[in-house]
Amino acid sequence: MEKIFAYYLSVLKNYTKFDGRARRAEFWYFTLINMIIYYILGYINGFLSIIYYLGILIPSIAVAIRRMHDVGKSGWFMLIPIYNIVLAATAGETGDNQYGSDPKDTINEAIDFN
């Protein structure tokens, strides 16, 4: 559970970073936590969920673009329906690619799991 929130917080800390790569776990855990928070706030008060959605919009776009970079695609591929979900679920390229170094090699340096 601690790792899930660490991934969520790492996305929020890098909300302006549109370059580089994001692991599958980082993207999907961020998406999961977003959905949970959004639905809880929507249940409590619809206005709160709208405010949350607007606040989380840029970090969501940024992590989606970095996820596309991890599979070796341009960030614009996130705009293609269904195919973007397939790409987001696909394992990233091993080693460095044109968008940066492999996040599996650097993730433990960026997030302190202890």
pLDDT tens across 4-63, in order?
Answer: 999 999 999 999 999 999 999 999 999 999 999 999 999 999 899 999 999 999 999 999
Which residues, 6+ apart, have CB-to-CB distance to 5 below 8 Å? 33
DSSP string, 62-77: HHHHHHHHHTT--GGG
Give the integer Cα–Cα distance in Å for 110 and 7. Answer: 10
pTM, 2 dp = 0.88
pLDDT of residue 52: 97
Q: What is the largest CA-CA distance in the chain?
A: 45
Structure tokens given for 13: 């800390």
